[in-house]
Amino acid sequence: MTTMLVINGSPRKRGNTETVLNAFVEGAEEAGAEVTVIRLADIDHKNCKGCNACHKNGICVIKDDLTPVFDQLMEADILVLASPIYSMSVTAEMKSFIDRGQFLWAQKFVTKTLVFDEQHLATHTGVFLATSGQDLPYSFDSAFPVVRAFFNDSGFSYTENVLFPGMDLHGGVKGWPESVVEAKKRGGEIVMKMNMKKKV
């Protein structure tokens, strides 16, 4: 069975991002995926301290509610990072999560204890799901390299964007019901792609 871990970086319950994300998850589950959703605003976790202790042994010294999430992440076939665009990038919650992944970077590039071969990368997909208030051609541009760096460190091929720009122009999802339909469709499609990859 395809497993999907969803990291919800929106601080707002039942907002635009969470609404389209719920539809995405519904589509993924209907396609047969086992989905776990972590809402960062609901769990007790600390920011990266920048202590660089992980550069010595690849282990983060912080132990909190994010610690088991990283264990789950390494077992997932699909990783979804979901965030609205705040100040032209991901939310503080999502950036904090990404920064806490510094120990993965350390394992990959410093201690050299984390290696992802071509087969692994071919069967592990990274998805960035995001909404923006404005419909500008560059609304998501600053967020792309941030999430790409995390997907690279954690062994997921960043191949899928599920983006919903211009939410404010539509009056949010209530005025743009097509966004929910599209999100559910994309959730199913991405899982079906993974199912096919795992059969090869």
Q: What is the pLDDT of residue 199?
A: 78
DSSP 8-class letter at 174: G
Q: How far apart are CA 149 and CA 139, in angstroms?
A: 18
Residue type, 61: V
CATH number reported for the structural domain that contains residue 160 in this entry = 3.40.50.360
Place of tokens 């960035």: 128
pLDDT digits (tens, 9 = 90+) for 150-181: 999 999 999 999 999 999 999 999 999 999 99
- Taking a C-beta distance cutoff of 8 angstroms, is the pair 177, 126 a contact? no
**How far is residue 96 CA from its own chain's centroid?**
13
In angstroms, rounded to a whole number, what is the distance separating the alpha carbons of residues 111 and 55?
A: 7
Whole domain around residue 142: which residue ranges? 3-199
Name the DSSP letter for residue 132.
-
Strand partners, 186: none
What is the count of structural domains for the chain?
1
List pLDDT tens digits, range 100-119: 999 999 999 999 999 999 99
Q: What is the mean pLDDT of residues 123-144?
A: 97
Please report, rounded to a whole number, the percentage of residues in the chain having pLDDT higher than 70: 100
